[in-house]
Structure 1
Amino acid sequence: MPLTTATRRTGLAERLAQRARTGYWTTLVPVFAALAVVTHLPSFLRPVWSPDEGYLATQARMLADGGVLYDTVVDRKPPLLPWLYEACFAIFGSSSLWPLRTLAIVAHLVTAVLLASIARGRWGNRAGAYAGVLYLLLSIGLSPEDTQAATFEVFMLPAMVAAFRYAERRRWLAAGIAVAMCSLTKQTGGAVLLPVLWMLFQDARQRGVRWVPALAKIGSGFALPIALVAVILTKPKGFLFWVVTGSGDYASLGSNWLQMLGRALGNSAILLAAGLGFLFPLAHRLWLRRRGRPLPERGRSFGSSLDLWVWLCSSVVAVSIGFHFFGHYYLQLMPPLVLLGVGAVATSAVRWKPVLVYTTAACTVFWGLAVLWPGQKLSQTTEVATAVAAQTTPKDTVLVWGMHPELYWLADRRPATRYLTAGFLTNYSGGKDGQKVGEEYSVSEAWQTFDEELAAKGLPEVVVDDSGTAPYQPVLIPRIETLLDTHYEVVGVTGDTVIYRLKR
């Protein structure tokens, strides 16, 4: 007898229910979610972890007050994350970053699922599960200020891994769109375009198919979202300057190359220690191959992973651009490193248990560091913000002369200028010495714009000198020194931070 429509529907429902109970992802995703929450639970212990969070939070408030991105609200970063902060503040209020920290956990979860999907397709179910778990354990394997903050690199990772996954499955248009989303979160995320193109040309060579239509799909998928943002959603000239062309001096090597080299090696060593459990088998395989010894294989061959090496190399280049080597830059290296390590273990005689035990132990150490991380600087910043709030009213404006824009957000006061750090007016950035730092090295026309803003809004009620002994301290910047000497008096000192108030 032929099956009725109702019978077929009942059978389909039963099969779907059975798959939900025993399915690979329905079992694995809850485990990933729980692990993502546990590893990043310390992120909720501090109001702000890094100046980047403070900058984004202040930007979001300025946008909510009618500011225009890349005009009256500026930064050298793409717009997606400032818009996300603004949206969260509109829904949940702007007094806490917990919604962003929650979304950061979701971003890590999505990254883990995508990595598991890639590893599962290459080396089987077990490798997929371990790829997600090991990524989540490794995701806090740097300084807590770099891994627990809701910053650009964290939100860049899902789109970056998605681009690789789509390219692996020959979904070229989707891969191009994912590269665009990654680039619109942080410029260096666009480096994943290199392995995407590599996989395209390798696919065309091996299958003997035309690569031009696929390349056109990647190009259109990449270009159209960026064009939409640059031409329609922001000011084209401002977008081009702030996101693409306006960071030349900021990204220069400078003369303090020893400090930058030390930071690069130091953060590399920390990441290596955090992932040694699965990176050691990878290094062992490379050593055997270099010595010409046979490589024990199990399951699918590891030799098909050249695209992962291209991905890793492109990420290394992205981390190195600008020569700053901040710890949070290294988050971009984690996905390809995890996949290479998982592949090395999955295709060799190495057992998973010692790999998992070591990585869990390392994760526990970094989790403990995050819980016990010193808070002296945050305490001082909070104390200064409290003093600024006491010296001003919500209608007053404030100028923070330093590199800690979180002061604006913590004090809940409006910035007197669109330039939220002294770096825009002096070309100073973390790790630089006094070379090419000063008024003459500012962003083009920044001082003219600064003077116009003060003339239009009036002088800020309070100026916070947070420069300490940095090469942009007021005695080295004549315009700021003159402003303070002429119009302000000292009303408080906290540590190396001086608070000035407008003279009555």
Structure 2
Amino acid sequence: MTDERRAGPADLARGRPRAAARLAAAARRVPEPWGFVLAVFVGAKLVLSLVGVLVLAAWDGVPGAPPAAEALMRDQQDAVSSHRWVSLWFAWDSFLYDHLARLPLDRPWPDFGFPLLYPFLARPFAPLLGGHTAWALLLVSNVALVFQLLFAYRLGARLFGGDGPADGRRAVRYLLLLPTAFLFQAALTESLFLCLALAAFWYAERRRWLVVGIVGYFLAMSRSVGFLVVVPLALVLVREHGWRVGPRAWPRLLREGWPLLLVPAGWLTFMAFCRWQAGDWFAYQHTQQTGWGIRLQSPLTVAGSALAGGNSADALRVWLVVAALVVAVVGLRRRADWPYLVYTLVVVLVPLSMGSPVYKSLLRYLLAAFPVALVLARWARRPGLDPWLTAVLALLQGALFAVWLTYWTHLII
């Protein structure tokens, strides 16, 4: 008689705890940040994908779904994948990035509306995925999300330390609880931009300025607002020198912080690409002006017009911006936190100052304000506040996720 046939129910029952113990031991061997980060990433992916498929299935029976304005996008999603848990992560700009990722490089470049880092990163991965550049974009976003969570863990524990790893875990959790944090998993630039921004600040806090400059170079190539992040990064440098900016401090600041010049150099690289391909250093700006009517204006004027216009969606966008700014101003009022307050003001007010259609995507661009999540994580250390804050943010994100998936996509993108 074989061993399998001799094994009785009692032996099998004893085997289950041993297998669980082996799995637990293997999990404990994973370094602390990575084990938690990967578990949260997988958990968020599974929960959001399941909720997304259920929401879309529920809306299939609604008359007129999808509306005519979104029929083309749904066709594009179906072309990416027949599996909804994959295709739901593509919307609007995703298909423009896919277009840029497929454009041949041996002929004049025709499109300058977006910085090129994100679509260009997809190119080397596409052959590994059967030539599917759209899948490669999704891979880039999700790999960036994993590292984004890692840097959020490290930065949260360093800035608001006190509980050690507990602060890092809260920072990761609240970053994923931001109202539109589901977009981190989509084929969009959010996770890549925030991964690079968090990495830049993490290395700045550790005074590794050459690494900061290199990361900042690519940050500036990922989104137009990226080169402005040099300002809060420079404030970290000044803070580390006791806020001394007099003539005697300049030689030391320049000697240590010269790599920060690489941050605006990243955007200059894209401008040079525009000049090389189109003979126009400002082809990006001109494309957005003529194609989408984007022009610089006062953010206060834009916000006031939105509130006075009587449109509830516009009002919701503005009030969420106000809420983010209030959290940042209240939570980052200490001098040591000023670089993060300035960063938040930059990434929130710059999109608001560009008017429509950038203004219409404010709920998307608010995700760049990661210090808001760090402040919420610090506040959540107070007894009794964490579960309530978690519940409110989870419900808000769930509602916005359902809205993004169904009729009102234009509320967010």
User: TM-score normalized by structure 2?
Assistant: 0.66
1:104 matched to 2:141? The reply is yes
> Which residue of the partner structure matches residue 132 of structure 1?
172
1:211 matched to 2:253? The reply is yes
1:197, CA displacement in angstroms? 0.7
Aligned partners of 1:183 and 1:189 also within 8 Å? yes
Aligned partners of 1:140, 1:204: CA distance in 2, in Å?
Answer: 37
SS in 2 for 1:240: coil
Q: Deviations over 1:415-445 (max 9, x none)?
A: xxxxxxxxxxxxxxxx9xxxxxxxxxxxxxx
Aligned partners of 2:383, 2:196: CA distance in 1, in Å?
Answer: 33
1:357 matched to 2:382? The reply is no
> Which residue of the partner structure matches residue 488 of structure 1?
none
SS in 1 for 2:187: coil
Q: 1:242 aligns with which of 265, 283, 287?
A: 283
1:343, CA displacement in angstroms? 2.5
Q: 1:304 aligns with which of 336, 356, 366?
A: 336
Aligned partners of 1:318, 1:340: CA distance in 2, in Å?
Answer: 21
1:49, CA displacement in angstroms? 3.9
Aligned partners of 1:155 and 1:185 also within 8 Å? yes
> Which residue of the partner structure matches residue 498 of structure 1?
none
Aligned partners of 1:172, 1:236: CA distance in 2, in Å?
Answer: 32
> Which residue of the partner structure matches residue 338 of structure 1?
373
Aligned partners of 1:49 and 1:148 also within 8 Å? no
Q: 1:90 to 1:241 in 2, by over 3 A?
A: farther
Q: Please, which moves more after superposition, 88-97 or 303-312?
A: 88-97
Aligned partners of 2:44, 2:139: CA distance in 1, in Å?
Answer: 10
> Which residue of the partner structure matches residue 59 of structure 1?
100
Q: 1:20 to 1:212 in 2, by over 3 A?
A: farther
Aligned partners of 1:121, 1:313: CA distance in 2, in Å?
Answer: 22
Q: 1:40 to 1:376 in 2, by over 3 A?
A: closer
Q: Deviations over 1:290-326 (max 9, x none)?
A: xxxxxxxxxxxx7632222122112223322422313
Aligned partners of 1:39, 1:58: CA distance in 2, in Å?
Answer: 29
> Which residue of the partner structure matches residue 484 of structure 1?
none
Identical aligned pairs, as a percentage?
18
Q: Deviations over 1:169-192 (max 9, x none)?
A: 111121122222111011112232
**Number of aligned positions between the proteins:** 334
1:334, CA displacement in angstroms? 3.5
Q: Deviations over 1:214-250 (max 9, x none)?
A: 231221x336656666668992765733346765664
Q: 1:228 to 1:370 in 2, by over 3 A?
A: closer
> Which residue of the partner structure matches residue 319 of structure 2?
269
Q: Which residues of 2 match residues 43-58 of structure 1 at below 5 A?
A: 44=85, 46=87, 49-58=90-99
Whichever structure has more helix as a proportion of its residues is 2
Aligned partners of 1:28, 1:99: CA distance in 2, in Å?
Answer: 25
Q: 1:229 to 1:75 in 2, by over 3 A?
A: closer
Q: 1:229 to 1:314 in 2, by over 3 A?
A: closer
> Which residue of the partner structure matches residue 81 of structure 2?
none
Q: 1:40 to 1:189 in 2, by over 3 A?
A: farther
Letter in 2 for 1:251: I
> Which residue of the partner structure matches residue 41 of structure 2?
33
Aligned partners of 1:233, 1:285: CA distance in 2, in Å?
Answer: 41
Q: 1:367 to 1:137 in 2, by over 3 A?
A: same
Aligned partners of 1:333, 1:229: CA distance in 2, in Å?
Answer: 21
SS in 1 for 2:380: helix
Q: 1:177 to 1:131 in 2, by over 3 A?
A: same
Aligned partners of 1:245, 1:134: CA distance in 2, in Å?
Answer: 38
Q: Which runs of 5+ in 1 are unaligned?
A: 1-16, 290-301, 378-430, 432-504
Q: 1:36 to 1:18 in 2, by over 3 A?
A: closer
1:191 matched to 2:231? The reply is no
Letter in 1 for 2:46: V
> Which residue of the partner structure matches residue 152 of structure 2?
115
SS in 2 for 1:322: coil
> Which residue of the partner structure matches residue 251 of structure 1?
294
Q: Which residues of 2 match residues 425-444 of structure 1 at below 5 A?
A: none
Aligned partners of 1:252 and 1:322 also within 8 Å? yes
Aligned partners of 2:276, 2:238: CA distance in 1, in Å?
Answer: 35
Aligned partners of 1:22, 1:152: CA distance in 2, in Å?
Answer: 29
Aligned partners of 2:271 and 2:282 also within 8 Å? no
1:174 matched to 2:216? The reply is no
Aligned partners of 2:122 and 2:140 also within 8 Å? no
Q: Which has the larger radius of gyration?
A: 1
Aligned partners of 1:192 and 1:311 also within 8 Å? yes
Aligned partners of 1:18, 1:303: CA distance in 2, in Å?
Answer: 43
> Which residue of the partner structure matches residue 451 of structure 1?
none
Aligned partners of 2:274 and 2:282 also within 8 Å? no
1:374 matched to 2:393? The reply is no
Q: Which runs of 5+ in 2 are unaligned?
A: 1-24, 53-83
Q: 2:263 aligns with which of 196, 213, 222?
A: 222
